[in-house]
């Protein structure tokens, strides 16, 4: 089940939008939390750190490009992360694992909050995973996780805070 919260024109009264003359780029902070803290060792800390950086970049770029959530602070926590292909750490731990032939259902779960200009805290929760191996798209290790980041960024820029 998912619930969409749309930011409508009356949202100006709640500080969710700012006039273009005073527009400020939102600050995006991403950390690791939940089950991913323990899973990071098995995935490889380098890969997890790169995914934190990737999520920060994707959300920041989309909000800057579309002018969404001006002046807000977006605090996100990457709580779950599943690769579509084995990471370097996983291949190192299981020598028979094939980087080319092994695929799995991937995706990501992101939680957090948006702190608006007026201090209002709005919860954010988004997750997206492939539903079957037939849905696995692309050849990248983090293809489905990247798709989750892009969709979350698009929703945030549109003013839709997604809970599911």
Q: What is the pLDDT of residue 14?
A: 42
The torsion angles phi and psi of 82, rounded to 5 degrees, stand at -125, 125
Helix %, strand %, coil % for the chain, to 5? Answer: 40, 25, 35
């700012």: which residue's tokens?
18
Q: Is the dihedral of CA 58, 110, 32, 68 positive or negative?
A: positive
pTM confidence score: 0.81
- pLDDT tens digits, one per residue of 14-27: 444 444 434 588 99
Name the residue among 113, 128, 16 with its Cα closest to residue 68. Answer: 16
Residue 79 is given by DSSP the state E
Q: What is the pLDDT of residue 163?
A: 56
All domains in the chain, ordered by first residue: 22-163 (3.40.50)
Q: What is the pLDDT of residue 95?
A: 83
- pLDDT tens digits, one per residue of 130-164: 888 877 666 789 999 999 999 999 999 988 875 55
* Average pLDDT, integer, range 108-129: 94
pLDDT band at 97 (very low <50, low <70, confident <90, very high): confident
CA distance 151 to 98: 29
């Amino acid at each position: 089940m998912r619930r969409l919260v749309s930011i409508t024109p009356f949202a100006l009264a709640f500080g969710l939008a700012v006039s273009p003359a005073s527009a400020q780029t939102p600050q995006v902070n991403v950390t690791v939390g939940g089950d991913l803290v323990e899973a990071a060792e098995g995935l490889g800390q380098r890969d997890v750190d790169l995914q934190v950086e990737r999520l920060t970049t994707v959300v920041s770029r989309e909000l800057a490009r579309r002018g969404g959530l001006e002046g807000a602070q977006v605090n996100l926590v990457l709580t779950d992360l599943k690769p579509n292909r084995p990471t370097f750490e996983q291949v190192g731990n299981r020598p028979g694992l094939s980087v080319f032939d092994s695929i799995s259902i991937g995706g990501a779960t992101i939680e957090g909050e948006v702190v608006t200009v007026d201090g209002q805290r709005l919860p954010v929760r988004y997750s997206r995973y492939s539903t079957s191996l037939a849905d696995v798209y692309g050849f990248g290790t983090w293809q489905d996780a990247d798709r989750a980041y892009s969709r979350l960024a698009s929703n945030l820029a549109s003013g839709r805070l997604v809970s599911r």
